[in-house]
Amino acid sequence: MSLLTISGSPHVHTQQSVKSIMYGVVIAMIPAIFVSVYFFGIDAARVLLISVLGCLFFEWLIQKYLIKGPVTINDGSALVTGVLLAFNVPSNLPAWIIILGALVSIGIGKMSFGGLGKNPFNPALVGRVFLLISFPVQMTSWPMPKALFGEGITDAITGPTTLGILKEGLDAGKTVQEIMASPNFPGYVNDLMGAQAGSLGEISALALLLGALFMLTRKIITWHIPTAYIGSAVIFSGILWMIDPTQFIDPLMHLLAGGMILGVFFMATDMVSSPMTAKGQIVFGVGAGLLTIVIRVWGAYPEGVSFAILIMNAFTPLINNMFKPKRFGEVVKNG
Amino acid sequence: MKTFTLGGVHPEENKLSADKAIEVLPLPEKVYVPVSQSLGAPSKVVVEKGATVKTGQLIAKGESFISANVHSPVSGKVVKIDDVIDSSGYKRQAVFIDVVGDEWEESIDRSPEIISEITAERDTIIKKINELGVVGLGGATFPSHVKLMVPDGKKAEYLLINGVECEPYLTADHRLMLEKGEEMMIGISILKKALGVSKAFIGIENNKPDAIEHLRKLCTRYQGIDVIPLKVKYPQGGEKQLIKAVVNREVPSGKLPIEVGCVVNNVGTALAVYEAIQKNKPLIERIVTVTGKSVTKPSNFMVRIGTPVSLLIESAGGLPENTGKVISGGPMMGKALTSLEAPVVKGTSGILIMPVEESKRTQVLNCIRCGRCITACPMGLEPVLLAQLSENLMFERAEAERIMDCIECGSCHYTCPAGRPLLDYLRLGKNKTGLLIRNRGKK
């Protein structure tokens, strides 16, 4: 008889692995990928391909020649970063800028801290914000999507995002109602389906929600961060809206326009850079929701999701320290 | 349906031997009986090499308060008193006996008749349980008489009987409840009398509906005993989790169940108590599940203590070709055996044979800080943090983060998608932190 294996208990393990989690996230992004290709055409596919290949390439390069350690590009995490980075840029972004974004995401956002699990910030958002600040013109020239049904405007024309239109209009002294009544305003249905100008992955709330549902049922993410994030954003923007509906956007439009749904389900829930306890995750979500609305309403940028999540990422270690799980036998309730 | 609130996991149940009736294993040719089979101080051998012993004769005496007597499980000749490698992998002193016939001590009532009238008084019950070597059969093997002696100032309100059997694969307790239910109920009544409590609850997970139904029927004839079905969740059989699930009380950190008025005993212990009090029979045999996905004949055996594990495996159809690991106990908390000659002891609930492909641990990857170990921990600890502190030898911090509350259920390691051996680090950390605390006490 061959020798027996000896190891400590437990001797059985869950089926869920880092790989299955990462590829699960990728599967959840497929509906949004289809929507982006539908509305932006081959350009969207081009951005996705360059971003994914760029992220995989830089991770391989750094692991193999800089760190000289094991290469783990097949664990799915660089693939997730690649798709997310593409989701966060316009479809007409030049290839070299995308590649630079991939380098910053993987090189600075992830590998400089020690690779998967060690990065304090979401790598895709690090890349995205780097590009937004460095290339503000290219990063905010949004190709118009084709119309939801039938012939649309050609994609050679660029225009502002839904939030951009609102911000511009409000700054010009118009009321929310006047802006939303104008013919170039996409409206609720288009924003839900994806017929709006914007980054690749953020345009269709519906496609993203489908993916989110998949991740929730497969237990890849939990409800805590999304619920707290959406809840606090809706309540905060709702209060503002009730105070003055002519100056403040209603909560539903806040949800459907811009990158809120993408950020809430796919980037705020990034387990590496978000808190580990349920309590901490709720604090994180509430903070991100409030910050998003604050930036959207009073900030210089029309969109605040990326900054809000990155700022809350920075608070994650503090939140982990402050919000401990409820210990068994700590508060004794008898009866 | 009731269950505990904090953490928990759902490993595959794999109760392959659930419908296999208990078979009496034929007597082995020789037995190795470790003299220390319970928690606490080792017992002292009271027989000499060459001596002839009868089944049920005292061979090792527990000499301190927390220790237990050991009796000969067979009749025959003491060949030697030597070390044997037991399921923990350590060498332990054991009495080696060559089996000759099966001659029992006369004081033991071997008739199949069930004696339901309880004549023994409280003091006699505790004394006999102590004398006859009854220990907790759930796995921790805590001497049973100690649990029955409620410290001054404390009061027992409820007796909880643990029929949860939350470990995957194991079915020994399940079969016991089905086949020895009547005796068990009398055992519970005896325990109730010894503790002076009027209420006992039997906690059973609802994956054993036949046992729940059977015992519920029996309950109509035994006053003050109720069956509480529990929602399946590991580690519900943990003492603190069971108390939380059944009576919704939380045992404070570092305290015993009696702090919240509870005493917990396993169903197997209740049967052993019945046999000790009503039949004068010491704890010399127990039910052991022999199981595994490749095992030809998964079984539940009534086995004499000291029987080599190899004999049990043979009786279950032999060691499968693709065996990678043999575990004493269940897959969540059991110990991997180093030798198949290790003897069955009072705490052996099962022998689980794992195929090669399930025996190797997965590759250890970076922690992705998903927090699944925190969600899974039934004690509300942060295994990821405690493992890190242990790895960095920061035991004082680990103590402050309540590492000593860890019940070593393995839910954290089970649930880790990065395959990190969290419990290995926690065990190390607990050991070192315990040392730190004890040394502090000495100063």
Residue pLDDT, tens place only, A127-171: 999 999 999 999 988 888 876 655 555 545 788 899 999 998 999
Q: Are A275 and A320 in contact (CB under 8 A)?
A: yes
**pLDDT at residue B151 is higher than 80:** yes
Q: What is the CATH number of domain B25-99?
A: 2.40.50.100
Tell if the CB–CB gap between B249 and A334 is shorter than 8 Å: yes
Q: What is the pLDDT of residue B63?
A: 86
Q: Mutation test of the interface with chain A: which of B240, B365, B428, choosing the one with the most A Cβ atoms within 10 A?
A: B365
Confirm if B372 and A219 have CB atoms less than 8 A apart: no
Q: Map tokens 């199949």 to a residue.
A: B112
B82, β-bridge pairs: B94
- Determine which helix (DSSP H) or strand (DSSP E) holds B288, and give its type and residue range: strand B285-291
**Distance separating alpha carbons of residues B55 and B306, to the nearest angstrom:** 12
Average pLDDT taken over every residue of chain B: 94
Which residue bears the tokens 């040719």? Answer: B29
Cα–Cα distance measured from residue B43 to residue B64, given in angstroms and rounded to the nearest whole number: 8
Q: Does A120 touch chain B (CB under 8 A)?
A: no
pTM over 0.95: no
Task: Determine how many CB atoms are found less than 10 A away from the CB of residue B108.
Answer: 17
Please report the pLDDT score of residue A155 as a whole number.
Answer: 47
Residue pair A271/B371 in contact (Cβ under 8 Å)? The answer is yes
Domain-embedded: residue A12: no
Q: Is residue A95 domain-resident?
A: yes
Inspect the interface and report whether the beta carbons of B326 and A4 lie closer than 8 Å.
yes
- Summarised one tens digit per residue, pLDDT across range B385-434 is 999 999 999 999 999 999 999 999 999 999 999 999 999 999 999 999 99
Amino acid at B169: Y
Q: What whole-number distance in Å separates Cα of residue B422 and Cα of residue A317?
A: 20
Find the range with the poorest average confidence among B94-108, B139-153, B251-265: B139-153
**Contact yes or no for B362/B419 (Cβ under 8 A):** yes
Residues A30 and A178 in one domain: no
Whether A112 and A261 share a structural domain: no
B423 touches chain A (CB under 8 A): yes
Mutation site for A-interface testing, chosen from B241, B362, B374, B403 by largest number of A Cβ within 10 Å: B374
* B306-364 tens-digit pLDDT: 999 999 999 999 999 999 999 999 999 999 999 999 999 999 999 999 999 999 888 89
CB A19 within 8 A of CB A26: no
Q: Are residues A133 and A82 in the same domain?
A: yes
List the single residue in A114, A273, A330 with the smallest CB-CB distance to B253. A330
Residue with tokens 């405690």: B386
Q: Check whether residue A167 and residue A120 sit in a common domain.
A: no
Instruction: Report the candidate in A76, A283, A219 with the shortest Cα–Cα distance to residue B375.
Output: A219
Q: Does a structural domain hold residue A327?
A: no
Count CA within 13 A, CB hemisphere, residue A267. 34
- Residues 50-89 on B with a CB inside 8 Å of A are 89
B332 touches A: beta carbon within 8 Å: yes
Q: Which of B236, B254, B171 is nearest to B434 (CA)?
A: B254
Say what the pLDDT of residue A43 is.
Answer: 92
Residue B9 sits at φ, ψ, to 5 deg, of -135, 170
C-alpha to C-alpha distance for B308 and B243, rounded to whole angstroms: 35
A185 and A303 both lie in a single domain: yes
CA angle in degrees (0–180, nearest 5) for B212-B214-B219: 90
A87/A46 Cα distance (integer angstroms): 12
B234 vs B10: CA distance, rounded Å: 6
CB within 8 Å: B361 and A325: no
Predicted local confidence at residue A184, as pLDDT: 81
pLDDT at B193 over 50: yes
Bridge partner list, B80: B96
**Interchain pair A13, B326: CB under 8 A:** no
A-facing residues of B in 347-406 (CB < 8 A) are 352, 354, 356, 358-362, 365-372, 374-375, 377-382, 384, 402, 405
Tell me where in chain B the CATH 3.40.50.11540 domain(s) lie: 122-279
Torsion sign (Cα): A237, A242, A245, A251: positive
Chain B CB contacts of A332 below 8 Å: 249-250, 252, 260
Same domain, A186 and A309: yes
| Residue after which a domain boundary falls, among A108, A139, A170 | A139
Q: Which residues in chain A touch residue B423, judged by CB atoms under 8 angstroms apart?
A: 8-10
Q: What's the CATH code, domain B122-279?
A: 3.40.50.11540
Q: How confident is the model at residue A335 (pLDDT cuts 50, 70, 90)?
A: very low
Distance from first CA to last CA of chain B, Å, rounded?
49
Query: Do A75 and A222 lie in a common domain?
Result: no
Kindly calculate the radius of gyration of chain B based on its CA atoms and give it in whole angstroms.
Answer: 21
For A238, list phi and psi in degrees, rounded to 5: -65, -40
ipTM of the complex: 0.90
Residues in chain B closer than 8 A to A111 (CB atoms) = none
What percent of chain B lies above the pLDDT cut of 70?
Answer: 100
User: Chain B residues with CB inside 8 Å of A4's CB?
Assistant: 323-326, 336-338, 340
Q: Do B405 and A18 touch (CB under 8 A)?
A: no
What is the predicted pLDDT for the residue at B443?
Answer: 66
Considering chain B, tell me which residue range(s) the CATH 2.40.50.100 domain(s) occupy: 25-99
Nearest to A10 by CA among B384, B427, B164, B298: B427
Residue A190 has pLDDT above 90, yes or no: no
CB contact under 8 A, B362 and A17: yes
Mean pLDDT of A213-224: 96
Structure tokens at B135: 């220990």
Q: Are residues A121 and A212 in the same domain?
A: no
B78-103 residue pLDDT tens: 999 999 998 888 899 999 999 999 99
Cα diameter, chain B:
64
For residue B279, give the nearest of B431, B421, B56, B111 by alpha carbon.
B111
Q: Which residues span the domain enclosing A105?
A: 18-139
Domain match, A301 and A170 both:
yes
Nearest-neighbour CA in chain B from A220: distance (Å): 9
Domain presence at residue A303? yes
Smallest CA–CA distance, residue B355 to chain A, in Å, is 10
Is the model's pLDDT at A324 over the cut of 50? yes
**pLDDT exceeding 90 applies to what percent of chain B?**
90
Residues A99 and A212 in one domain: no
Residue B77: CB atoms within 10 Å:
15
- Which chain A residues are Cβ-neighbours of B410 within 8 angstroms? 9-10
pLDDT at A147: 67
Q: What is the pLDDT of residues A243-268, one digit of tens each?
A: 999 999 999 999 999 899 999 999 99
**Residues in chain B closer than 8 A to A72 (CB atoms):** 365
- Amino acid B418: pLDDT: 95
Residue B6 to residue A326, Cβ atoms within 8 A: yes
Q: Average pLDDT in the B105-123 region?
A: 93
Based on the fold, state whether residues A306 and A194 are members of the same structural domain: yes
Q: Do residue A193 and residue A303 come from a single domain? A: yes
Distance from CA of B159 to the nearest CA of A (A): 16
The CA dihedral of B128, B129, B133, B137, to the nearest 10 degrees, is 160
Please give the Cα distance from A256 to B64 (Å, whole number).
Answer: 72
- Per DSSP, the three-state class of B99 is strand
What percent of chain A has pLDDT above 90? Answer: 81
Distance CA B375, CA A219 (A): 12
For B251-274, what is the mean pLDDT?
95
Structurally, chain A folds into a number of domains equal to: 2
Task: pLDDT band for B132, please (50, 70, 90 cuts).
Answer: very high
CB contact under 8 A, B319 and A272: no
